[in-house]
Amino acid sequence: MKKILLIAPLPPPMHGSNYMAKLFLELNFPKGITVKSYNCSYISEIKNIGKFSLKKIILLLKHLLNLIKITVSYRPKYVIFIPAFNYYNLLRDFIFVFISFLLGNKNILWIHSGTTFDLKLSNKPFYNLISKNIFSISTCIVPCSSFLPKKNYMYFSEENKIYPINNGIEDLQNNKDIDFKKSGFLKIVFISNMELTKGWKVLFDAALLITSYSSKISFEFYGNPTSNSTKNEIEKLFDEVRDENIFYNGPVYGDEKIIALKSADLFCFPTYYPTEAFPLVILEAMACGLPVVTTDQGGITEAIIDGKGGFIVKKNDPKDLAEKLEILINDKELRLKMGQFNRQRYLENFTLEKFEENWIKFFNTLGTDKNESK
């Protein structure tokens, strides 16, 4: 019997890594693999990510105590952590991993960040030290994309400890009862948190360039405000341009999100978010058969093939983005071809069933590798 314990934040709020943790817990594992979880969440709203508070310190102590209690009662052989790679959160997560190591658990780091190499180059010796040791005391490293450069992890661990497992999501096309209508406009959609480095402002500026000479194109933005893009700031910017073809609609979830994607002609996600790894919203757009215009950030190019499933554009460059969007705006046949390519690529690689299959294969290898026998 392989007992697995997942120590990770769960929704709310909803974002990539905690949503994948939720999906992980819903997988159907075979007999011989049991999975238990502990929700070590610190926040309930996106805007509080990365902010220090006394409440978080108290929660940290509570979570550490519960980790010890669960280890004693459940006695897992493997404990999965999803570490965050910024200064204070990594220190916090290292404490968890180190305590788990002292308790005799075999730690698995499930990586949802593309910036560990940058940590190695930072000028913070203590940060480098904990970065190195959080990997060295772990049995396995599971990046969510094999396109996150392996050198990011090989600086801190042996190559045979790395087992990439792609994110996978349920097929949005299965929701056939959802009604939606196509407008008379060609609709380009952005969906994410309204974090500046997610690229929404880049698309906004590109939209201004395009709508200045075309009135049959609609740009729709969906997402939660954040600390660097407050609701008032976002609404003020959109109100000031008074462009009837550029809209901010706030966050969308569930069926509303599916409608936003299915009613679109094109998905755009020009992210340059530092810790971007393998964005779920891109997989959702692929599942809906949309062409995607995005950037080479994190592991995105494992999903989107430049020239086949969409276009990879320069980061933080509205002009380049506008030029690539124009190609698709003016070529319906190409949009459909790229959307079909993405749909097939999703079905072959990024379904929830494939995600489940890959985790089961991984768990079946545990205990058979050389690093496990030491």
List pLDDT tens digits, range 93-127: 999 999 999 999 999 999 998 866 555 555 677 77
- Tell me what percent of the residues of the chain surpass a pLDDT of 70: 88
Handedness of CA 93, 110, 6, 374 (dihedral sign): negative
User: Residue 154: is its pLDDT beyond 80?
Assistant: no
C-alpha to C-alpha distance for 288 and 295, rounded to whole angstroms: 19
Give residue 53's pLDDT.
66
Could you give phi then psi for residue 246, rounded to 5 degrees? Answer: -125, 120
List pLDDT tens digits, range 220-250: 999 999 989 999 999 999 999 877 899 999 9
Name the DSSP class of 10: -
User: Residue 163: is its pLDDT beyond 70?
Assistant: yes
Could you give phi then psi for residue 245, rounded to 5 degrees? Answer: -105, 0
* Cα distances (angstroms) measured from residue 349 to each of 141, 333, 344: 20, 24, 9
Name the DSSP class of 199: T
- For the chain, the average pLDDT equals 88
> Residue 370 — pLDDT band, cuts 50, 70, 90?
very low
At 107 the three-state DSSP class reads strand
> Residue 178 — pLDDT band, cuts 50, 70, 90?
low
| CATH architecture for the domain at 2-168+352-373 | 3-Layer(aba) Sandwich (3.40)
- Mean per-residue pLDDT for 319-328? 97
The beta strand positions in the chain, using DSSP E, are 2-8, 33-39, 78-81, 106-111, 140-143, 186-191, 217-222, 246-248, 266-269, 292-295, 310-313
Question: Do 172-349 and 2-168+352-373 have the same topology in CATH?
Answer: yes
- Residue ranges per domain, the chain? 2-168+352-373, 172-349
Q: Which residue has the higher pLDDT, 119 or 76?
A: 76
Query: Does residue 289 contact residue 320 with C-beta atoms inside 8 Å?
Result: no
Query: Does residue 204 contact residue 221 with C-beta atoms inside 8 Å?
Result: yes
Give residue 12's pLDDT.
78
* Secondary-structure class of domain 172-349 per CATH: alpha beta
